[in-house]
Amino acid sequence: MSTKLSIFLLGLILFSVSPFSGDCRTLSGKHEHYSSSLNMFNSQDTMRFSSASSSTSNDCGFSSKEHDPSKEHTRESVKPQSRIKQETKRTTHSVVDLQIQDLTRIKTLHARFNKSKKQKNEKVRKKITSDISLVGAPEVSPGKLIATLESGMTLGSGEYFMDVLVGTPPKHFSLILDTGSDLNWLQCLPCYDCFHQNGMFYDPKTSASFKNITCNDPRCSLISSPDPPVQCESDNQSCPYFYWYGDRSNTTGDFAVETFTVNLTTTEGGSSEYKVGNMMFGCGHWNRGLFSGASGLLGLGRGPLSFSSQLQSLYGHSFSYCLVDRNSNTNVSSKLIFGEDKDLLNHTNLNFTSFVNGKENSVETFYYIQIKSILVGGKALDIPEETWNISSDGDGGTIIDSGTTLSYFAEPAYEIIKNKFAEKMKENYPIFRDFPVLDPCFNVSGIEENNIHLPELGIAFVDGTVWNFPAENSFIWLSEDLVCLAILGTPKSTFSIIGNYQQQNFHILYDTKRSRLGFTPTKCADI
């Protein structure tokens, strides 16, 4: 671990920073698995952060600890606090690593939000549709594409990865799935400043189907240009792009088109391999950030550049995924499905809530949903309803995101939620005060697993739908004796996020045609 990272982690521990994570797959669920799972997380090379904060609220999502019922005196633990502190010391850096990744992620999303607002004020972009084509199959009815997702847990990452075939001849590349982003991009040769990835870099010179988009092509206006902009001086000059995710995380290169090969399952049940030509993507020559050995990123956002938007002529206007329980055997995979899934649509427990549309300053990339109230143990909390609204400036609101691990609620909602969990649990389970990241944590030593009862979280939406989560989606077991709430806070001006940890063992449907989100409890390992 670098000196800078060590100092930063120490700062986080001393100041009790709220966590922002990666994939907590190995941190959750039945506590008998804790020892092997936590040791799989290793610290990553991190980006430089401008500051660490004290316990007062600020723009990194740190929350005040003043007048906090979760810190009140409790009865003496069955097992001494010092003993548990020693046993969980080895897990601290693992969880802090996850915290750093989520912190970066939220700064990324918020930075992209601010940049999007600025771009909207500068110019109105033209509506430009994708120009993809099916190579060798000009006419095909929408079908279904089923992809296997790989968890990044062995890389210390919270993201999910999809293997994609790119170019002619096609070559394999592992891309991070991201519903909070639109641009698809790969690290490309020549790579002038690139992060480490597993496998070879994409080389456009070896692909017969690669073609640069020129700077005077209408599609060039879909992408953010470098600052200051590069002047377009000739008809064959490439379209440069700069896609900034926040802090030092970014990708810069040439905007281009390429052939992506997909395995399409037709409505009749057959399976065929199709080459999708003219897929817009970024060929990145300068790339920085925490991308966990991936070759690049596959955007699933609502904008026209995303993988899902560009493939609508193939699979229609919907996609879904089902993330397996983080205690599942590593041989069990999560699934990503493009196209209509009849089994899902016919599920008796499938519920829908509408996406929030038409907000002038909201970001078109994100999937906003409108919360009405939060339930803990089945009872609605007294949280001002305006907490969940998108402001006239575009701040606030709630998004569902595959790239953020834990769930984050804006203040004052987070403090109210946290205190209600502490209130419900502290009489039976002593509060553990010395874990520097998650809060509150509870000492459950000496209690049989079947006798441990954790409150459940529910989210009620304005259209009347309620999303109830099992306790294992809201708590993380750090050891056999210590369980912590896996929900954190963000400032009032920041949006709330429902992360992928909260979504485990739910089949999540993104129906963009009807502008709605579907969800149903599912044993994802069986899909």
Provide the annotated active-site residues: 178, 401
Task: Please give the sequence-ordered ranges of beta strands (E in DSSP) within 247-402, or none if there are none.
Answer: 249-265, 271-288, 296-299, 318-322, 334-338, 351-354, 368-369, 371-376, 379-380, 398-400
CB 482 within 8 A of CB 435: yes
CA distance 237 to 514: 39
DSSP annotation string for 223-268: SPPPSSPPP--STT-BEEEEEEEETTEEEEEEEEEEEEEEEEEPTT
Phi-psi region for residue 310, left (φ > 0), alpha (ψ -120 to 50) or beta? alpha
CB 140 within 8 A of CB 268: no
> What tokens does 304 get?
């026209």
DSSP annotation string for 175-234: EEEETT----EEEBSS-SB---BSSPPB-GGG-TT-EEPBTTSGGGGGSPPPSSPPP--S
Give me the phi and psi of 281, to 5 degrees please. Answer: -160, 170
- Residue 506 CB burial class (10 angstroms; 0-12, 13-18, ≥19): buried
> What tokens does 440 get?
């509150």
> What is the DSSP secondary structure assignment for residue 26, as one 8-state letter?
G
CA distance 312 to 512: 10
Among 361, 259, 349, CA closest to 311 = 259
> What tokens does 414 get?
């987070």
| CA dihedral over 153, 158, 162, 167, signed as positive or negative | negative
Whether cis (ω within 30° of 0) applies to the bond prior to 228 is yes
> What tokens does 346 get?
């016919």
The pairing of beta strand 496-498 with beta strand 398-400: parallel
CA distance 321 to 415: 31
Residue where the block lists tokens 């502290």: 426
- Residue 211 CB burial class (10 angstroms; 0-12, 13-18, ≥19): middle
Residue where the block lists tokens 């939220």: 106
CA distance 257 to 262: 16
